Amino acid sequence: MQQAEKLGIEIPQEWWVTKKDKPWIEKWHLDAKHRAKLKRLINEARYTQAKKFVELVIPVLGLLVALVALLKDILIAWLD
Mean pLDDT calculated for residue range 65-78: 95
Share of residues in the chain with pLDDT > 70 (%): 96
Task: Tell me what the pLDDT averaged over the chain comes to.
Answer: 88
46: which residues sit within 8 A by CB, 6+ positions away?
Answer: 7
pLDDT for position 17: 82
E-state strands within the chain: 16-17, 29-30
pLDDT above 90: residue 44: yes
Look at residue 24 in the predicted model and tell me its pLDDT: 74
Mean pLDDT computed over 40-54: 95
- Quote the pTM value: 0.69
The overall longest dimension of the chain from CA atoms, in Å, is 86
